[in-house]
């Protein structure tokens, strides 16, 4: 970690993206500290510094990398805002990528964001990209839980993961409500192209959530049971709780995907049935028109020798025949459900 008289100048640009820079010792908040004093506090025993950044630039990440001695590969991943959720170990330090999924209204698109978390024995550095909500509430909660905060930076990693996972549930609830609404409308009116598109849009949103949840289950699974990173020792039950929440969300997503596939199949079947009903009606009306046309066509051929043309009651008889045949056809078509 670098020190020197030029530190204030080097960190002059930091307040633009700096959310918090706080020092903790033995589970208790010491103070909000200036960035240039980080080195002093991380050198103290039982002390760690939690720095939170919002939309950091490459240059700002480079400054933090110098201050905390971050691994260059982890810093390179943190610069990319569309990483897959993962957990990497660099010696005793950890680097985690978490995906946020937010949706403020049912008619809005899903907003995907990323939180990159660097965790060392005496520091936590979190940087978020494209997230609508920050984690001020997480910091407040952890500061109230001093007994747990004594676990150090590993507990902060748990708190951030837990907050990200908890924010999946409102999104999942909104998607479930949307599926119920689409299923209800599916039987009230004949499905259309727009309703099929709505089902596929919902399926896309589910996949966005799935891509955030499924890899994070693998991350959480590495943090309890078996060989646990030293920074997370003693926190196994907490990370197992995160895993359980992720498992619930993932199971709900899989169930909704099956229901969506069924709903799409039913919609297509209803559309085919509707088209079949229309075809039947057209065929029935075609028959009702064809029979009178056939009879009228026969007696409109103007042959010289057609005995019926001389009948006194030929005209009303033919009209009656047309009406009788069409009446019979209407009766049979209605009985068959074609009209």
d(CA 140, CA 177): 32
Tokens representing 292?
């009178």
Beta bridge partners of 95: 88, 118
In a domain, 207, yes or no: yes
In a domain, 185, yes or no: yes
In this prediction, residue 5 carries a pLDDT of: 42
State the pLDDT confidence band at 8, using cuts at 50, 70 and 90.
low
Choice among 3-12, 176-185, 313-322 with the minimum mean pLDDT: 3-12
pLDDT at 7 over 70: no
- More confident of the two residues 10 and 158: 158
Instruction: Please check whether residues 68 and 196 belong to one and the same domain.
Output: yes
Instruction: Please check whether residues 198 and 79 belong to one and the same domain.
Output: yes
Instruction: Please check whether residues 295 and 312 belong to one and the same domain.
Output: yes
Give backbone dihedrals phi and psi of 200, rounded to 5 degrees, phi first. Answer: -70, -35
pLDDT in tens, 151-183: 999 999 999 999 999 999 999 999 999 998 888
Average pLDDT over residues 55-67: 88
Instruction: Please check whether residues 50 and 75 belong to one and the same domain.
Output: yes
Instruction: Please check whether residues 222 and 204 belong to one and the same domain.
Output: yes
In this prediction, residue 140 carries a pLDDT of: 92
For 118, the enclosing helix (H) or strand (E) is strand 111-120
d(CA 296, CA 299): 5
pLDDT in tens, 192-246: 778 888 888 899 999 999 999 999 999 999 998 778 898 888 899 999 999 999 9
Instruction: Please check whether residues 255 and 298 belong to one and the same domain.
Output: no
Our count of domains for the chain comes to 2
pLDDT at 299 over 90: no
| Cβ–Cβ under 8 Å, residues 71 and 92 | no
Sort 232 into a burial class: Cβ within 10 Å, 0-12 / 13-18 / 19+. Answer: buried
Beta bridge partners of 127: 53, 116
In this prediction, residue 1 carries a pLDDT of: 45
Instruction: Please check whether residues 258 and 299 belong to one and the same domain.
Output: no
Instruction: Please check whether residues 228 and 282 belong to one and the same domain.
Output: no
In a domain, 2, yes or no: no
In a domain, 158, yes or no: yes
For 154, the enclosing helix (H) or strand (E) is helix 153-166
pLDDT at 2 over 50: no
pLDDT at 283 over 50: yes
- Could you identify the residue written with the tokens 């957990």? 87
Domain's final residue, options 217, 245, 270: 270
DSSP code per residue over 171-203: HHHHHHHHHHHHHHHHHHS---HHHHHHHHHHH
Give the CATH number, domain containing residue 287: 1.20.58.340
pLDDT at 107 over 80: no
d(CA 279, CA 276): 5
pLDDT in tens, 81-94: 888 999 999 998 99
d(CA 39, CA 2): 8
d(CA 55, CA 320): 85
Instruction: Please check whether residues 227 and 193 belong to one and the same domain.
Output: yes
In this prediction, residue 327 carries a pLDDT of: 83
Q: Write the DSSP symbol of residue 36.
A: G
- Could you identify the residue written with the tokens 């609508």? 132
Most confident listed range (27-31, 34-38, 241-245): 241-245
Task: Quote the domain boundaries for residue 97.
Answer: 7-270
Q: 239, 88, 255, 82: which is closest to 165 by C-alpha?
A: 239
Instruction: Please check whether residues 14 and 163 belong to one and the same domain.
Output: yes
Beta bridge partners of 86: 97
State the pLDDT confidence band at 51, using cuts at 50, 70 and 90.
very high
pLDDT at 280 over 80: no
State the pLDDT confidence band at 297, using cuts at 50, 70 and 90.
confident
Domain's final residue, options 243, 270, 297: 270
In this prediction, residue 4 carries a pLDDT of: 45
% residues pLDDT > 70 (the chain): 90
In this prediction, residue 12 carries a pLDDT of: 53
In a domain, 1, yes or no: no
Count of CB atoms situated within 10 Å of the CB of 267: 21
Q: If you average pLDDT over every residue of the chain, what do you get?
A: 85
d(CA 214, CA 285): 56
In a domain, 45, yes or no: yes
The strand pair at 47-54 and 123-129 is best described as parallel
Instruction: Please check whether residues 19 and 58 belong to one and the same domain.
Output: yes
pTM assigned to the model: 0.78
The strand pair at 18-25 and 47-54 is best described as antiparallel
Instruction: Please check whether residues 154 and 219 belong to one and the same domain.
Output: yes
Give the CATH number, domain containing residue 19: 3.30.460.20
In this prediction, residue 273 carries a pLDDT of: 66
| Cβ–Cβ under 8 Å, residues 216 and 99 | yes
Domain's final residue, options 270, 292, 326: 270
Tokens representing 107?
């008619």
In a domain, 50, yes or no: yes
Average pLDDT over residues 308-327: 76
State the pLDDT confidence band at 188, using cuts at 50, 70 and 90.
confident
């Amino acid at each position: 970690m670098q020190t020197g008289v030029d530190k204030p100048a080097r960190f002059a640009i930091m307040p633009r993206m700096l959310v918090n820079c706080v020092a903790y010792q033995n589970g208790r908040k010491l103070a909000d500290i200036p960035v240039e004093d980080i080195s002093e506090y991380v050198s103290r025993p039982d002390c760690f510094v939690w720095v939170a950044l919002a939309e950091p630039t490459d240059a700002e990440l480079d400054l933090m990398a110098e201050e905390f001695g971050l691994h260059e590969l982890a810093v390179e991943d943190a610069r990319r805002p569309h990483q897959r959720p993962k957990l990497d170990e660099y010696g005793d330090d950890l680097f985690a990528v978490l995906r946020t999924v937010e949706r403020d209204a049912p008619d809005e698109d899903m907003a995907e964001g990323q939180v990159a978390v660097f965790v060392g024995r005496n520091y936590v550095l979190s940087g978020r990209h494209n997230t609508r909500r920050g984690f001020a509430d997480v910091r407040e909660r952890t500061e109230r839980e001093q007994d747990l905060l004594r676990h150090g930076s590993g507990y902060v990693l748990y708190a951030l993961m837990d907050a990200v996972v908890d924010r999946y549930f409102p999104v999942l609830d909104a998607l479930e409500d949307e599926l119920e609404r689409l299923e209800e409308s599916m039987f009230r009116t004949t499905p259309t192209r727009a309703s099929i598109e709505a089902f596929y849009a919902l399926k896309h949103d589910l996949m966005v959530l799935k891509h955030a949840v499924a890899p994070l289950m693998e991350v959480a699974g590495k943090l309890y049971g078996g060989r646990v990173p030293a920074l997370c020792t003693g926190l196994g039950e907490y990370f197992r709780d995160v895993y359980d929440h992720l498992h619930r969300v993932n199971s709900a997503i899989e169930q909704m995907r099956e229901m969506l596939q069924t709903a799409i199949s039913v919609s297509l079947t209803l559309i085919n049935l509707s088209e079949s009903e229309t075809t039947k009606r057209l065929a029935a009306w075609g028959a009702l028109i064809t029979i009178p046309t056939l009879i009228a066509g026969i007696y409109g051929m103007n042959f010289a020798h057609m005995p019926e043309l001389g009948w006194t009651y030929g005209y009303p008889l033919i009209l009656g025949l047309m009406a009788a045949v069409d009446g019979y056809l209407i009766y049979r078509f209605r009985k068959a459900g074609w009209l």
